[in-house]
Chains A and B, each alone.
Chain A
Amino acid sequence: MSIPGKSAARAAGLPRLLLSLIVAAGCWQFSAAQASAEDVIRFGAPLPLTGPLAPEAVKQQQGYDLWAEQANKAGGISVGGKKYKVEIIYTDYQSNTPRAVQTTEQMITQDNVNFLFAPFGSGATKAVSSVSEKYKVPLIAPTASSAQVYDQGYKYLFGTFTPNDTLTTPLTEIIKAKAPEVKKVAILARNDLFPLAIAQEMEKSAKANGFEVVYFEKYAINTLDHSATLSQMKSLAPQWIFVTGYTNDLLLVRKQMVDQQIKAPVVTMIAGPAYPDFIEAAGQSAENLSSAAWWHPAEQYAGKDIFGSTSNFVKLFRDKYKSEPDYAQASAAVCGAIFQMAIERAGSLDRDKVRDELAKFDTVTFFGPVKFGSNGQINSLEPPVFQIQGAKPVVLSPQAIKQGEFRLGVN
C-alpha cells in the first residue's frame, strides 16, 4: 500500500524539478542571447526564397552574403571603437507579399533585428515599409524603383534604384538619335507593379520623343503562351518592340517572336537581358536586344565602401559564385555596405542616429555615387543602357563607361 503523502510529494517534486530545469535553461539561453546580442549586429532580410520569385531572391541573398562575408573577414562593423560581427536573419515569404509583411514584423519583435533589408521588388517593399516605419527601423531597399514606393512620406525607407524614367529616357534618346527611321513602338508589359510601371514610363517617354505607340497591352502573370498576342503585334508592323517582365516571361516572348518570324530594327527587353542566365538561355536570339539596368560590371567607380572599386567587387563575386554579377546582386551588396558606413559614422546602433546618417549619406561606392533624395530614393546614379552584342552586354550609355555603338536589327 502506498503512502499518499509521500507519492504526492514525489509527484509534486517532478514538475518542480522540470520547472527549475526550464527556468535554468531559459536563463542560460537569455544570457547567451544577451552575450551574442552584444557582439553582433542583426540584419533582417525577408526574401521570396521559394515560389515564382525564387530566382530573384537568390540574387539578393548572394549580394547580402558576399557583403556579410567581407565585413566579417575585416573583423566586423566598427561601432565606437568596438567591432561587431554581421549576422543576417533570412526569412522565406514564399513569393507571397502579405507573408513578407508578417515575417518582417516577426523579425523586428521576436528576432530583435537591428536593421532591415527590403524584400524583392517594388510591390513587396511598399507593403513591408509600413511595418518598418511603424517600428522606426531603418530599411534599405535593393530592388525597388517605382515612385509609388517612395511617395508615402516615410522617414526610415531608403532605396538604391533610381526612378524608372531614368532607364527609359536615355534609351529613347539613343534610339531617336541612332535610328531616326524608327517611328512605331509596340509595348507589351507583364501586369505586375514594376514591369507595368516601367512600360508606362516607356510609353510617356516614347510619346514625348515623337514616337507613335501603336500597341500597348498587358499580359497576366503566369502566361504560358504569347503567340496570339505576338501575331496581333506583328500585324501592326512595329519598328520598336518593347517588352517588360522577368526572365521566364522574356525568354518565352523572345522564343515565340522567333517562332513567328517577328523582326524589328529595335527590340528592348527589361529586365531579362541584364541577367547572364537570360543571355545563356536565349542564345543567338539574344543578339542585339537592348536593355537598361541600374548597374553594370563594366562600371569603374573607386568607392569608399568595403568593396572599394567596382572591379574588386566583380572579382570577389566571381571568386565566390563563379559567375558574373548583375545589378540585383550588386545592389543588395551595396545596401549592406551603405548600412555599414552609416553605422560606423553614427558610432552607435541607435536606429534614429543611423537613419540620420543614411539621410545625409553622400559617398561614392563601387555601385556608383550614393545620395538619397528627401523621399529616400537614390538620386545620384546614372543607369547604364546596354545591348547584347556577341553574347555579351555592351554598354551604350552613359558616355563615361561606353563600350560600343548601338546596332540596328533584331532577327
Chain B
Amino acid sequence: MLAVQVLINALLLGCLYGCIAIGFSLVWGVLNVINLIHGSFIVLGAYLAWAAYQWLSIPPWFALAIAAPLFFGLGYLLQQLVLNRVITAPVLVTLTLTFGLDLILNNVMIYYFKADYRKLTLSPPMGSVSILDVVVPVDRLLATASALALTGLLYLLLRRSRIGRAIVAVRLDRDAAVLMGVDVKSIYAIAFGLGAALAGCAGVLMSLIFPISPLTSATFLGKSFVVCVLGGLGSVSGALAGGLLLAFVEGFGSTLFGPSHAITLSFGLLIIFLIVRPQGLLGRKGFE
C-alpha cells in the first residue's frame, strides 16, 4: 500500500512540477531566453492569490482569472520594452538581463512582503479523501486538475490558433517565419506574456500547497530548470513528462534511500540526461 501511496503522491506532484515548468519551457524554447525571473513570477502569483483570499475573500480558483491577464500584460510589456532590445544578442546577455530583473523583483517583494513565510489556509480546509488506505489531499488534487487544464489550454492554443501556429513557426525557423510575414517581435512578446501568465497561474496554485516567501523563488526556478532538461524544451507534453519523471525519482528515491538523497538523485538524473539525451524525453534534436 505504501508503494501505491508514493505513486499517487508522485503523480500529483509531477503534474504540479509540470505546471511550474511549462512557462519556463515555452520561453526558453521559443525565444531562446533562459528566463531567470520565472521563479519570482511564480512567487508573485502566490502572493496575489494570498492577498486576494486574505483581503477580498476571493478563492484561488477565481484568482486564476485575475492572475492570467495581469501576468500576461506584465510579461508582454517586459518583452516589448526591455527584452526585445537584446533578443538577438548572445544567450548570456538575456540571461544576465533576466537575472538583474529577477534581483529587482525579488528584492521589491522582500521589501513589501518581508521575508516571513505566509500560508494560504482555506477556511474551512478542503481535507483529504481516502480510498482504501490511500490518502489524496483535495487541494492538491484540484491544483493538479487545474494544472492539467492550463497545460491542455496551452496545447490547444499552440495547435489550433493562428497565434499558436505563429509561435510554433518562430520556434521552428525564425527566418522562414519572418519571410512568411510573421511579426516576430510581437510573437516574442506574446510568447513571453504567455510564459509569465503560466508562471503567475502556477503561483496561484502553489499558494495552496507551499508556504509563500520571496525566498522560495530560487527553488521553483531550480525545479523548472531540471524539469525542462528532463522533459525537453519548448514542448507542452515535455514539461509534463519531465515533471512526472522528476517527481517519481524524488518520491521513490526518498522512500528507498532516504529523503536526504532525493535531491542528489534528481540532479544525478539531470547529469545523465545532459550526457545521454540532451534533448530530453520528448524534445527533438535541432530543427534545421
A residues in contact (CB < 8 Å) with B? 50-52, 54-55, 58, 188, 191, 217-220, 222-229, 231-232, 235, 247-248, 251-252, 255, 258-261, 277-278, 281-284
Report chain A residues within 8 Å CB of B211.
247-248, 251-252, 255, 281
A interface majority secondary structure: helix
Q: Whose C-beta in chain A lies nearest to the C-beta of B206?
A: A224
Report chain B residues within 8 Å CB of A284.
121, 125
Report chain B residues within 8 Å CB of A232.
2, 6, 254-255
B40 adjacent to chain A (CB < 8 Å): no
Shortest distance from the beta carbon of A322 to any chain B beta carbon, whole Å: 13
B interface majority secondary structure: helix
A226, B137: Cβ atoms closer than 8 Å: no
- Cα(A222)–Cα(B211), bound, Å: 12
Q: Whose C-beta in chain A lies nearest to the C-beta of B2?
A: A235
B145 adjacent to chain A (CB < 8 Å): no
A50, B110: Cβ atoms closer than 8 Å: yes
| Contact digits for B111-153, partner A, Cβ 8 Å, 1 yes 0 no | 0001111110100010010100001010110000000000000
B6, A228: Cβ atoms closer than 8 Å: yes
Q: Whose C-beta in chain B lies nearest to the C-beta of A251?
A: B211
B117, A217: Cβ atoms closer than 8 Å: no
Q: Whose C-beta in chain A lies nearest to the C-beta of B134?
A: A231
Report chain A residues within 8 Å CB of B219.
222, 224
Report chain B residues within 8 Å CB of A222.
218-219, 222, 263
B189 adjacent to chain A (CB < 8 Å): no
- Cα(A343)–Cα(B273), bound, Å: 60
B130, A261: Cβ atoms closer than 8 Å: yes
Report chain A residues within 8 Å CB of B75.
none
Contact of B259 among A219, A255, A278, A282 (CB under 8 A): A219
A-B interface, 7 closest residue pairs, ranked by CB to CB distance from nearest: A259-B137, A281-B119, A54-B115, A227-B9, A219-B259, A228-B251, A218-B260
B251, A227: Cβ atoms closer than 8 Å: yes
B184 adjacent to chain A (CB < 8 Å): no
A252, B9: Cβ atoms closer than 8 Å: no
29 A–B pairs (Cβ distance < 8 Å), ordered by A: A54-B115, A55-B116, A55-B117, A217-B258, A218-B258, A218-B260, A220-B263, A222-B218, A222-B219, A228-B254, A228-B255, A228-B262, A231-B2, A232-B254, A248-B211, A248-B213, A252-B211, A258-B125, A258-B128, A259-B135, A259-B139, A260-B135, A261-B128, A261-B135, A277-B117, A277-B118, A281-B117, A284-B121, A284-B125
- Cα(A153)–Cα(B34), bound, Å: 49
B209 adjacent to chain A (CB < 8 Å): yes
B residues in contact (CB < 8 Å) with A? 1-2, 5-6, 9-10, 13, 107, 110, 114-119, 121, 125, 128, 130, 135, 137, 139-140, 209-211, 213, 215-216, 218-219, 222-223, 247, 250-252, 254-255, 258-264
- Cα(A188)–Cα(B259), bound, Å: 9
Given known contacts A54-B215, A258-B125, is B117 in contact with A231 (CB within 8 Å)? Answer: no
Report chain A residues within 8 Å CB of B135.
259-261
- 20 new A-B contacts at CB < 8 Å, known A228-B10, A231-B9, A259-B140: A54-B110, A55-B215, A58-B115, A217-B259, A218-B259, A219-B259, A220-B259, A223-B259, A225-B247, A228-B252, A231-B2, A232-B255, A248-B216, A252-B210, A252-B211, A258-B125, A259-B128, A259-B139, A261-B128, A281-B119
Report chain A residues within 8 Å CB of B261.
220
- Cα(A278)–Cα(B125), bound, Å: 18
Q: Whose C-beta in chain B lies nearest to the C-beta of A283?
A: B121
Shortest distance from the beta carbon of B208 to any chain A beta carbon, whole Å: 10
Given known contacts A248-B216, A252-B210, A261-B128, is B260 in contact with A225 (CB within 8 Å)? Answer: no
Given known contacts A228-B254, A261-B128, is B260 in contact with A220 (CB within 8 Å)? Answer: yes
- Cα(A279)–Cα(B42), bound, Å: 25
Report chain B residues within 8 Å CB of A58.
114-115
- Cα(A277)–Cα(B222), bound, Å: 26
Given known contacts A232-B255, A252-B211, is B250 in contact with A225 (CB within 8 Å)? Answer: yes
Report chain B residues within 8 Å CB of A260.
5, 128, 135, 137
Given known contacts A225-B13, A261-B130, is B262 in contact with A220 (CB within 8 Å)? Answer: yes
Q: Whose C-beta in chain A lies nearest to the C-beta of B138?
A: A259
Q: Whose C-beta in chain A lies nearest to the C-beta of B1?
A: A235
- Cα(A283)–Cα(B54), bound, Å: 13
Shortest distance from the beta carbon of B54 to any chain A beta carbon, whole Å: 11
- Cα(A248)–Cα(B117), bound, Å: 6
Given known contacts A217-B259, A225-B13, A228-B250, is B6 in contact with A281 (CB within 8 Å)? Answer: no
- Cα(A177)–Cα(B141), bound, Å: 41
- Cα(A52)–Cα(B217), bound, Å: 10
Report chain A residues within 8 Å CB of B262.
219-220, 223, 228
- Cα(A235)–Cα(B2), bound, Å: 7
Report chain B residues within 8 Å CB of A219.
259-260, 262
A223, B6: Cβ atoms closer than 8 Å: no
A229, B210: Cβ atoms closer than 8 Å: no
Shortest distance from the beta carbon of B242 to any chain A beta carbon, whole Å: 15
Report chain B residues within 8 Å CB of A283.
119, 121
- Cα(A255)–Cα(B258), bound, Å: 20
Shortest distance from the beta carbon of B212 to any chain A beta carbon, whole Å: 9
- Cα(A294)–Cα(B13), bound, Å: 37
Report chain A residues within 8 Å CB of B119.
251, 255, 281-283
- Cα(A278)–Cα(B118), bound, Å: 8
Shortest distance from the beta carbon of A396 to any chain B beta carbon, whole Å: 26
Shortest distance from the beta carbon of A42 to any chain B beta carbon, whole Å: 26
Report chain A residues within 8 Å CB of B117.
55, 247-248, 251, 277-278, 281
Shortest distance from the beta carbon of B1 to any chain A beta carbon, whole Å: 8
Interface centre among A191, A219, A226 (most CB of B within 10 A): A219
Report chain B residues within 8 Å CB of A277.
116-118
Report chain A residues within 8 Å CB of B209.
255
Report chain A residues within 8 Å CB of B140.
259
